[in-house]
Amino acid sequence: MSATASIRDLRNHFPKIRKLVESEGEVLLSEHGRTRYRLVLHTEAPARPAPPVDYWARLTAHQPEPLNAAQARSLHEDNRGDR
């Protein structure tokens, strides 16, 4: 069963309400005699592991395209000069 408190109690006696939330799990807050709000203990969601990094794909993404045979021959001829 959850504990109950008023908005005034929350404002004036927060440490007491905080201990109630920690021990009970939730506290129902009333305003003008009607239950209006619910305080629950916050729990962190488990962190998702990062996906593995594909280093080879990252490396090849930044490399230029290789020369084909005709481009390689043309570059070789240009570099030979006047021999």
Model confidence pTM above 0.75: no
β strands within 1-83, DSSP E:
3-6, 26-31, 34-40
pLDDT at residue 81, as a whole number: 75
Backbone angles phi, psi at 22, to 5 degrees: -65, -35
What confidence tens digit (pLDDT) does each residue in 38-76 have? 999 988 889 999 999 999 999 989 888 888 999 999 999
* 66 part of a folded domain: no
**Higher pLDDT, residue 2 or 51:** 51
* 82 part of a folded domain: no
Backbone angles phi, psi at 43, to 5 degrees: -125, 140
Which domain does 31 fall in, by range? 3-40
Q: What's 19's domain CATH number?
A: 3.40.1620.10
* 11 part of a folded domain: yes
Strands 34-40 and 26-31: antiparallel
The structural domain count of the chain equals 1
